[in-house]
Structure 1
Amino acid sequence: MGPSSFVFHGISLGLVAVCNGYVETVIGVAGERVTLPCGYSVKTYGVTDTCWGRGEVPYSKCSKMVVSTEGDKVTYRQSDRYKLLGRVRKGNVSLTIINATEADTGIYGCRVEVPGLFNDLKYNVLLLIGRAPVVVTGPPVSITGKPQSERAYWDSHTGTTDWDGSIGTLVQMQA
């Protein structure tokens, strides 16, 4: 994946490949809850310590930590807005942000601590939060007025072709 640029509500974000984990993009709406995925196999690693922070996962722990666990217990939460609503004991440590705001936009890092040197699992998620969607009748349309599929709409507005449908229905946002 080479460098590309993505404009969202006037915010230009340079997207680059991250060496210490993949980047997944999650799109949310201000005022709603949004969930950033992270998980691991308890069968393989046992129930282990994890953390979430603002920014890419560093060499150890998490930068600007927002949530951390010891085993299946949450031991630190920066705010009540940050929740682990999945089954932590089963390895689901996805981060849910309640009442998301545009200020929540940015990269978040999840670290799953695995015993041994350099064994930790690291995931980086780019979160984009926009304002409430405009009510649009009919499907998104191209400049020529012909209907576009959601995938074509995604491709034409991001310059990428890697949408897999996993982030839900795309809607036109307010300018």
Structure 2
Amino acid sequence: ANVATRGYKTLSTLKKMDINPVATDGDGTTQSLLLSLEEFDFKGKKVMVQLHGEKAPRLIKFLEDRGAHVFKVLPYQHIAPNSEIVKKLCNELMNNEIDAVCFTTAIQVRSLFDFAKEHDYYQEIRQVFKEQVVAVAVGKVTAEALKEEEIQRIIVPEKERMGAMIIELSRFYAN
């Protein structure tokens, strides 16, 4: 089987197993992986996609649009946070009680904004991030999810680690 991979951790693990992917991302993002997959013919091919807690709609659509029969494997599942806690976060955001929100996964981004959409807070929450609250992403993939929600004020550390994320946030406020 041919293997494609996104993310440096997965690539490192595959290399340790002597598995050389035919396609990889250039920067850790789904968009970059999609660009590296454009040269392949998927018409009539069976493609298994291991998901990491979310559905990866852009990747699945990309493959299906090119004729692949996609089989999804979901070994990890995201369990949505308690709705009262998310509602409290939304209220605190809308009441200007929060200066920054740290996101450590794309799933967290989608979870917050899906909740906001379901409860008619979406436009207000997006406006809060546009004007007052800083979004802090642990890395490029999380930042990509924020950009998909049209959030532009994003702090992203060069080194994709939680500690680096907090240091970048402290530098932002020190300036």
Place the TM-score, normalised by the shorter chain, in its bin. under 0.3
RCO (CA 8 Å, sep 6+): is it higher in 1 or 2? 1
Instruction: Looking at secondary structure, tell me which structure has more helix per residue.
Output: 2
What TM-score do the two structures reach when normalised by structure 1?
0.24
Instruction: Looking at secondary structure, tell me which structure has more strand per residue.
Output: 1
What TM-score do the two structures reach when normalised by structure 2?
0.24
